[in-house]
Amino acid sequence: MATTLTLLHDGRSDEITVADPARPAIPAGALEETLGWDLQPEGLCQGPMCIPVDQSALVREDGLDLGVLAGALQRPLVTDEKHTVASLGASHHERGDALASLDAPDFTLPDLDGNLHSLGDQRGKKVLLVAYASW
């Protein structure tokens, strides 16, 4: 019986209809809109970059196997079957490569008045980035 899976990824959540919550699959047509990848004969592609993938394992009748997809993208996938929710984390390769490039990853956060500020807005200035917590 089809059910709705909440997929947490990249700071957002998407609702996906899945046939088997124990082995969730993402509809092939939703792959690009949801995760920004496209399935081509060469593999999973994002712009000019393609990642080889075992398509016989990836492609199922009900869509693209989310576990195989996560493995191909080297992203951790953890699930809670009872509440039909899955969390797709960021690849440690992707995060590590970004930091090792020494280009500070951009981000946008609100100030206390709700006004949004991006790190990129500070270009041309020296920035001290401080992460603290009041717990």
Binding stretches for other proteins (CB under 8 A): 6, 8, 13, 75-80, 82-83, 85-92, 95-96, 98-100, 102-107, 109, 119-120, 122-133, 135
Q: How far is the CB of 133 from other proteins (least distance, A)?
A: 5
Would you say how long the chain is, in residues? 135
| Residue nearer to other proteins on the CB measure, 53 or 77 | 77
| Residue nearer to other proteins on the CB measure, 57 or 85 | 85
Matching residue, tokens 């970059």: 49
The number of beta carbons lying within 10 Å of the beta carbon of residue 31 is 17
Which whole-number Å values give the CA distances from 85 to 9, 15, 32, 33, 101, in the listed order?
11, 9, 20, 19, 33
Q: How far is the CB of 72 from other proteins (least distance, A)?
A: 15
